[in-house]
Chains A and B, each alone.
Chain A
Amino acid sequence: MESVFEKFTDTIKTKEQLDRYLEQIRQASRWVYKGGSLPLSEKIKGTAREEFRQFVRELEEAGQIPSARRDESTFLKNIAKTWESLPVIRLKLAFLPSDDFLDDLTEWLAKQTGRKVVLDIEVDERIIGGCTFEYAGEYRDCTLEAKLDEVLEAEVRRMI
């Protein structure tokens, strides 16, 4: 059975989303010692994004957030640490990917690497098609731009 935390983490596809949620956690941490005995999801109402607040509420309902304030703060810090440690694959694409494509991509990559990954996507039309790929210190240029340059260069060499 997938936990609330795992379920929510699965929704994080891109580095952009990840950064956004990390910021939400930083903001939520400020509310731990404020607002009296209200649950955290209530304290952050109006300041945090709704999907994040919903995530916090689900955690509360599932009894996964400790009741003691100090423990609550540590819990949030641990979430942030877990998210920060997620592997990031940097991709440069020639088009803006749809959510479905991102889902397919992250699913496929998770299968290949055996763990949850986050995509750091940059869109650059100059690469024509394909992608550049950066992961764990490795880099590959699998773009049509690189291929075209290769062909043109060979052509120039042949002519000269």
Chain B
Amino acid sequence: MSGTVILIALLLNALTVLLVLYLVYKGDKAIGDLEPYIQDVERMRGSIARRGNQILEKTITVAQEIIRNAVSTSQKNIQSSESLQAEIENTLKRGVEQNLAENKNLLQNATKDIVSAYQEQFSVMSKEIEEAGLSSHRELMEASKQRISELSQGITTELSQVRQSAQEQINQELAASQEKIKAYEAQKIKELDSKVYQILGEIAKKTIGRAIDLSTHEELVLEALKRAKKEKLL
């Protein structure tokens, strides 16, 4: 059974191979028929390419020429612009300088006129002012003298009153101070006296006691006790 199956499979394979071979044969034949057409196409493509290259080269040449022309024209334009600019600048400069000089002259002349006019006017005014000033000065001097005289009298009176008042106050304060000094002096003397007596007392206490003999001491004590008895303390 398996042998049959293998045999059938082998037969089918052989048929497939034969079919493929047939198809290959048929393909090659079809390609061979198309070959003249392919060659024509190739030729046409070569001719078109060459024509395109020629056109391209021509176009580049024309473009280059146009550019060169444009650059040259531009350079010429720039040159003429520059010379025109320099010319305008020179013209303007000269114009400005001329204007300045003219203005300066005008100004100087106007100033001279104004100054001389003012000088003339001031000269007249100065005289008037001087006269007015002198008159005012005289009036002021008179008024001042009068005022000073009045003030002097007032000040003299005022000073006299102030002096009197000050004198009175000084006298009062002096009297008060003298009283205070007197009181202070008395107080200090009192303090000094009491201090002197205090010291005297201290010295006496230290010296007298030692100068008293024992029997006198004993007598003094007995006397003191007898006095206490009299006073009924015992």
Contacts and interface: CB of A to CB of B under 8 A. Distances in A.
Nearest to A159: B193
A129 interface: yes
B57 to A, nearest CB: 153
* Contact-residue bracket for chain B: 20 to 34
A140 interface: yes
Interface stretch (A54-62, A63-71, A145-153): A145-153
A156 B221 contact: no
A113 B209 contact: no
A29 B225 CA distance: 38
Contacts of A82: none
A108 interface: yes
A144 interface: yes
A149 B222 CA distance: 21
Contacts, number: 90
A94 B217 contact: yes
B194 A131 contact: no
Given A155-B197, A160-B189, A131 B224 contact: yes
Contacts of A99: none
B72 to A, nearest CB: 140
Interface stretch (B26-34, B113-121, B164-172, B200-208): B200-208
Given A95-B214, A128-B209, A142-B224, A135 B197 contact: no
B101 interface: no
A130 interface: yes
Nearest to A100: B218
Interface stretch (B88-96, B127-135, B226-234): B226-234
Given A109-B234, A133-B233, A155-B197, A144 B221 contact: no
Contacts of B220: 129-131, 144
Contacts of A91: 221
Task: Identify which of B198, B223, B234 gathers the most chain A CB atoms within 10 Å of its CB.
Answer: B234
B193 A156 contact: yes
26 contacts: A93-B217, A95-B214, A97-B218, A105-B222, A105-B225, A112-B229, A112-B234, A125-B209, A126-B209, A128-B204, A128-B209, A129-B216, A129-B220, A130-B220, A130-B221, A133-B228, A140-B224, A140-B233, A144-B208, A148-B201, A148-B205, A148-B208, A149-B201, A152-B201, A156-B197, A160-B189
